Structure 1
């Protein structure tokens, strides 16, 4: 492309609650002195910063974005192409048990699996026991990797109610809790 100014957007789609970061680049690495960002052809930000950040995006942030940049020692400006940003509702998470029996004996193995509607790319998972907001205590006998949480040698204290939650990005969990799954561990 012969476009001098490039608007860089994150992978699409963006999910509700994510942070949307747009960057305006000049192809030849010149020092940009001013950038104007537009959404649906309306100016939304004008400054020296080449980055536009929208926290906790919602459906209303969906639209066509572009930027105009001015650079050092030049009276001219350049426009990027328009880029469409789609914002999707957060998918549901579903917690299931493998094998699908809520009553198990001590020393048996069971895996809780957290499924995100529409695929698993880019999600991280947290696991909760007995109450929402209380992360499970991970030990050598129970650990969460990716979308699975495995209890490899069930003991009586593993009995209880479990939830999972999926999030995106480094810090923020943007997702609702899954359905609850109850596990009952019995002595043999």
Structure 2
């Protein structure tokens, strides 16, 4: 209160909603209550942001779950705040799913927890990268689309991100079925190998996640030398 009296100062032991009033006389005459002031308290709990699956680099169209974990906060009723790359309506739960991720979902993600007037610290930032370069490319080695009968040629399916993560599926109108591997070596080619070849990849760790089909490559095997 202002006037001839000194301001009154108190120390508060915890976060909360505080207001004051003044009184004088006997019997005491009180003023109205002041406006409220919110005091928040930062707790030492530091959350961790995790991804499920745990890869920080994924491909367009995949699904990933972002989770905020507060150590030592089990059983507490936390509300969560997020700082994220693309969140039009930030969730208040400890996790959310990014379904059919796009490149705009790339960026840093961090979180903190709130309980009444208590806040945790902000977590460290975890960076998610969403790539769209996962469409396969079919290549020929040697790089000739027309070869002669009896020659050897390799048809290869190349996916950015490494061969070990993928199973392969081929589609061709040739009379010879290509194996489910990243490359198909044709020894002593014949006209039955002529046709269009295209491929796609299927993630070994999650069989329902696939790439797009590659563009087709046409192979022609000529009988004449």
| TM-score bracket for the superposition, by shorter chain length | 0.5 to 0.7
Q: Which residue of 2 aligns with 1:21?
A: 65
Residue in structure 2 matching 1:5, options 44, 47, 50 = 47
Question: In structure 2, do the counterparts of structure 1 residues 148 and 8 end up closer, same or farther at CA, with 3 Å as the change threshold?
Answer: same
Indicate the residue corresponding to 1:143 in structure 2.
179
Alpha-carbon distance change, 82 to 62 in structure 1, aligned in 2, over 3 angstroms: same
What's the offset of the Cα at 1:164? 1.7
CA distance 1:41–1:183, shift in 2 (3 Å): closer
**Structure 2: segments with no counterpart, 5+ residues:** 1-43
What secondary structure, in the 3-state scheme, does the structure 1 residue paired with 2:104 have?
helix
* 1:105/1:137 CA distance change after superposition, 3 Å: closer
Cα pair 1:35 1:67 within 8 Å, conserved: no
- Are 1:174 and 2:211 counterparts? yes
* Match in the other structure for 2:170: 127
- How many residue pairs are counted as aligned between the two chains? 174
CA RMSD of aligned residues (A): 4.0
Q: Higher strand share goes to which structure?
A: 1
CA contact (8 A) 1:96 1:181 kept: no
Gaps of 5+ in 1: none
- Name the CA shift for 1:7/1:137 in 2 (closer, same or farther; >3 Å): farther
Query: TM-score w.r.t. structure 2 length?
Result: 0.57
- Name which one, 1 or 2, has greater alpha-carbon Rg: 2
Please give the TM-score of this superposition, normalised by the length of structure 1. Answer: 0.65
Report deviation, 1:11: 2.5
Q: Which residue of 1 aligns with 2:40?
A: none
Aligned to 1:86: 129
The verdict on how the C-alpha distance between 1:143 and 1:27 changes in structure 2, with shifts beyond 3 A counting, is same
Mapped to 1, the partners of 2:221 and 2:148 lie a distance apart of 6
Rounded to whole Å, the distance in 2 between the matches of 1:12 and 1:183 is 42
Separation (CA, whole Å) in 2 of partners of 1:26 and 1:104 = 66
The answer for the alignment partner of 1:162 in structure 2 is: 197
